[in-house]
């Protein structure tokens, strides 16, 4: 078709002619993501008819657990938030042994607050000898994922040293946001859901996520507050959470869930302990390994590599770190002795069989009765930046985890399909917006958009009412319905627009700096961005230098991201946004070392290293 015919079509077509093909994929999305509402309804009716109480753990099921509470601890408000989260964990009355580790990311930034938190933890009156509270951290700031790993290493070291009894060694791991409060019995409910065997396979789950909600005291402070921007944002986020993190988290839809909520989730302790080494292991996987796997050769063994590879905590850190852990858990399996098997499928046929079985016996579970109440940004800028980070983190996580996704189809297939669908939907939205000025009868286009908005308003109203009814909180949270008139604008601004802006910067621009992890951590982790503009600019600079000085050999590193003797790492200068600092070229790398993966890793607290020799081993050459 010639360009003249394309232009003629758009200038003579009406809104229905253009919107028709665009609405079909959106309808497919509704089927994939929301057709399980009938199942949720039937299940809710069944639970109400039985009127069963909350399940309780049998004595043999009360496994020891570790709950980490990571935080930056930059001010007194964050100190009080950590203390409140720890008190909420203690008040949850988990019936088994529990270790709580407050993991401070950057103890040197406010050392007086760190010492105050340590003193406060020592003074806590614990109701049982099965409970203990530790305060640990590292300096300087390294990222949330590294802070969590510091807590994991500390607990493992204390178990090895006998300070924590072997019987209390963690079996289950929880991550809890520092600005959160748990509902009664949340920990016991999630452990019960994790341990419950599948009716199909007889195996327990691999990861369990909770229902994240905004507390009423945060989103409702009277009618006058509702008329302010913070009031509207808080109310809108609370309504959105009730649907997307309530109904939407139920993993019974056609397209499986592949991401736990970082506010509160649990998995096996073996998963979080192995994650840094698995991050290093993934950097050793090559295209040659994958091609050999397809013709019958065994894939690389993680257990064999584990004995020679040093852990890489920075490989876990960054946007989407909770999704990263979820994918690792879904790709693994629990043995009969409750240890975790991380080995890759032996053949593509085994990978396909695992993917088929886990589609019906899903290792990712959601417990709606386990709630965590959290706050939300209440400024336009703060919320937009948060949503940009949330909505584009999946693209980055796919890029980082791709060597594992190519083998582990239980995670790879739904994760890749989800990214393709979300990307396709937003491309169609951009196309629709760009074509609006060229269609015939723009007033008809506007009328069509109004009809679509009314239909979406009706869908949001029904889904919000349904979510509150299923949650049995309609009487308490009916004020969330007041957010419906602005829900369309809110969704477009903070979900659609933020995704488009983040996607553009992540894929076509110079990358998106969320400030979630320091540039040093991202560089040590060996991660990168797609960032086409950065790569082309880098190639142009190297081409100019090659012509002028003649000291740059031709290679794929021209379009790369990592540091070379002639270019800095793509993350260099990210700690000083928005002005990109011009970093000097590193002197350590040599041309012979260009293909080698990044091997460096951060240092941890010296006291921890003394008790944890497995983390202090020198990385391989």
**H or E element in which residue 102 lies:** strand 98-105
- Give 285-344 as a DSSP string: --HHHHHHHHTTPPPPPHHHHHTTPPP-GGGT-STTHHHHHHHHHHHSEE-TTS-EE-PP
| pLDDT value of residue 14 | 56
Question: What does the pLDDT average to over 69-75?
Answer: 93
Strand order in the sheet with 131-138: 131-138, 98-105, 65-71, 172-176, 264-268, 207-213, 364-374, 180-182
| pLDDT value of residue 443 | 63
**In this predicted model, which residue has the larger pLDDT, 375 or 449?**
375
Instruction: For residue range 485-505, list pLDDT tens digits in order.
Output: 999 899 989 999 999 999 999
Q: Does pLDDT of 607 surpass 50?
A: no
Q: Does pLDDT of 198 surpass 50?
A: yes
| pLDDT value of residue 442 | 61
Residue 2 banded pLDDT, cuts 50, 70, 90: low
- The whole model's pTM is what? 0.87
Residues forming a β-bridge with 173? 66, 267
Question: Domain limits of the chain?
Answer: 527-596
Give the angle subtended at the CA of 484 by the CAs of 464 and 456, to the nearest 5°.
Answer: 75
| pLDDT value of residue 76 | 94
Question: Taking Cα atoms as reference points, which of 381, 463, 561, 520 lies closest to residue 34?
Answer: 463
| pLDDT value of residue 615 | 42
With beta carbons less than 8 A apart as the criterion, state whether 148 and 175 touch: yes
Q: Phi and psi (nearest 5°) for 373? A: -100, 125
- The Cα–Cα gap between 265 and 94 comes to 15
Q: Does pLDDT of 134 surpass 90?
A: yes
């Amino acid at each position: 078709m010639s360009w003249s015919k394309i232009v003629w079509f758009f200038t003579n077509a009406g809104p229905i002619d253009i919107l028709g093909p665009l609405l079909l994929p959106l309808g497919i999305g509704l089927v994939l993501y929301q057709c399980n509402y009938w199942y949720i309804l039937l299940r809710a009716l069944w639970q109400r008819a039985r009127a069963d109480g909350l399940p309780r753990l049998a004595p043999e099921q009360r496994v020891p657990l570790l709950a980490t509470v990571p935080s930056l601890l930059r001010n007194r408000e964050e100190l009080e938030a950590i203390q409140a989260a720890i008190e909420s964990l203690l008040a949850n009355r988990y019936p088994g042994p529990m270790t709580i580790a407050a993991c401070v990311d950057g103890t040197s930034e406010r050392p007086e607050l760190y010492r105050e938190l340590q003193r406060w933890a020592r003074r806590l009156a614990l109701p049982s000898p099965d409970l203990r509270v530790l305060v640990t951290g590292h300096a300087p700031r390294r990222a949330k994922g590294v802070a969590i790993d510091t807590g994991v290493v500390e607990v493992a070291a204390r178990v090895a040293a006998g300070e924590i009894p072997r019987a209390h060694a963690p079996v289950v791991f929880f991550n809890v946001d520092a600005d959160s409060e748990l509902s009664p019995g949340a920990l016991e409910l999630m452990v019960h859901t994790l341990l419950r065997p599948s009716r199909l396979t007889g195996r327990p789950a691999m990861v369990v996520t909770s229902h994240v909600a905004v507390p009423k005291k945060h989103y409702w402070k009277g009618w006058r507050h509702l008329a302010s921007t913070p009031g509207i944002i808080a109310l809108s986020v609370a309504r959105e959470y009730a649907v997307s993190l309530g109904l939407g988290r139920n993993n019974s839809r056609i397209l499986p869930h592949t991401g736990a909520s970082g506010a509160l989730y649990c998995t096996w302790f073996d998963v979080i302990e192995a994650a840094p080494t698995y991050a290093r292991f993934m950097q050793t996987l090559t295209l040659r390994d994958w091609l050999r796997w397809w013709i019958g050769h065994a894939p690389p063994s993680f257990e064999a590599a584990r004995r020679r590879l040093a852990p890489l905590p920075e490989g876990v850190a960054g946007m989407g770190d909770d999704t990263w852990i979820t994918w690792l858990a879904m790709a693994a399996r629990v043995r009969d002795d409750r240890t975790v098997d991380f080995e890759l499928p032996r053949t593509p046929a085994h990978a396909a069989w695992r993917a088929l079985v886990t589609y019906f016996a899903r290792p990712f579970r959601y417990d709606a009765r386990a709630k965590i109440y959290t706050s939300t940004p209440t400024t336009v800028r703060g919320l937009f930046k948060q949503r940009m980070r949330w909505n584009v983190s999946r693209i980055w996580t796919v890029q980082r985890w791709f060597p594992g996704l190519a083998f582990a189809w239980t995670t790879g297939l739904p994760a890749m399909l989800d990214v393709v669908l979300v990307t396709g939907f937003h491309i169609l939205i951009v196309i629709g917006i760009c074509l609006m000025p060229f269609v015939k009868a723009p007033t008809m286009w506007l009328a069509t958009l109004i009809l679509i908005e009314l239909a979406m308003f009706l869908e949001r109203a029904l889904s919000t009412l349904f979510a509150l009814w299923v949650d049995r909180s309609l009487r308490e949270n009916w004020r969330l319905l007041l957010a419906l008139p602005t829900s369309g604008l809110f969704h477009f601004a903070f979900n659609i627009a933020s995704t488009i802006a983040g996607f553009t910067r992540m894929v076509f621009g110079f990358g998106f700096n969320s400030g979630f992890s320091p540039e040093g951590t991202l560089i040590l982790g060996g991660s990168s961005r797609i960032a086409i503009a950065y790569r082309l600019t880098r190639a142009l600079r190297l081409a100019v230098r090659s012509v002028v000085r003649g000291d740059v050999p031709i290679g794929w590193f021209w379009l790369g991201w990592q540091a070379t003797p002639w270019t800095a790492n793509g993350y260099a200068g990210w700690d000083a946004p928005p002005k990109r600092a011009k970093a000097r070229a590193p002197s350590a790398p040599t041309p012979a070392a260009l293909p080698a993966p990044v091997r460096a890793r951060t240092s941890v607290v010296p006291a921890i290293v003394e008790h944890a020799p497995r983390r202090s081993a020198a990385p391989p050459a």
